[in-house]
Amino acid sequence: MSGAPLAGRVAVVTGGASGIGYALAEGLGQRGAAVLVADLRGAEAAAARLRDAGIAAAGIDADVASESDTAAMVAAAEREFGGLDILVNNAGIYATLTPQPFERLDIAEWRRVLDVNVIGVFLCCRAALPAMRRRGGGRVINISSGVAFKGNPYMAHYVASKGAVVSLTRALATEMGRDKVLVNSVAPGFTLSDGVHRNPALVAGVKEPSLRGRVLARDMVPADLVGAACFFAGPDAAFVTGQTLVVDGGAYYH
């Protein structure tokens, strides 16, 4: 296979300014894709870092829970790079959450988690579909989570949101297949991303149990997800849709 299997493709990565999103944007770019980084803040700075590494990249500030922002994001991809082939729905609320029993969870926080983690995926896919149709097809990679299968305690809203992403992936794969758009999901285990490092309570509560539960007993980092996402984006996954690949060092066999 060529060293640039995604040459000529255009990717949008939401939540791409740091952490898992930046690692995915970089991985797609290293494989030849032009990348639009979308994030609440820091998108253009992240794109500049990618450009410094020789990757065609641009940035746009966008809230995935905003219908107008998601439309502007897709328009920017078409304006900057001529189209859209790959959408990575990575933006989500997790690293700022504090684990606690479900009966103590604030309803406003519940709604914001669902707005970003679930409705954001819907809005991004809805905005992207016409652009992908114009290209004759495309790929959608949704970042879900292994918690959807394990039912982790003290994060009920997050677990529910990621279970919804897995189910939404299947429904969208069924509907979008007629347009030759393949929709798959990558489900990470607990990942030491930039945002997670900034939440000591989260690290303290989740890191050690995660390590104990893994066959590969080491910390998981954003780079561990790049291969799976790029597989779904690339030519080797041309007959794969509606699937969720768990990447967690062997904590859950799916």
Alpha-carbon distance values, 160 to 43, 141, 152, 188 (Å): 28, 19, 10, 15
Q: What b/e readout covers 191-218, taking b as 16+ CB neighbours within 10 angstroms? A: bbbebbeebeebbebbeeebbebbeeee
| Among 22, 94, 154, 158, the one annotated catalytic | 158
Candidates 71, 79, 26, 69; CA nearest to 49 is: 26
Residue with tokens 């970003």: 116
Which run of H or E residues covers position 77?
helix 67-81
158 an active-site residue? Answer: yes
Q: What b/e readout covers 134-147, taking b as 16+ CB neighbours within 10 angstroms? A: ebeebbbbbbbbbb
Write out the catalytic residue numbers: 158
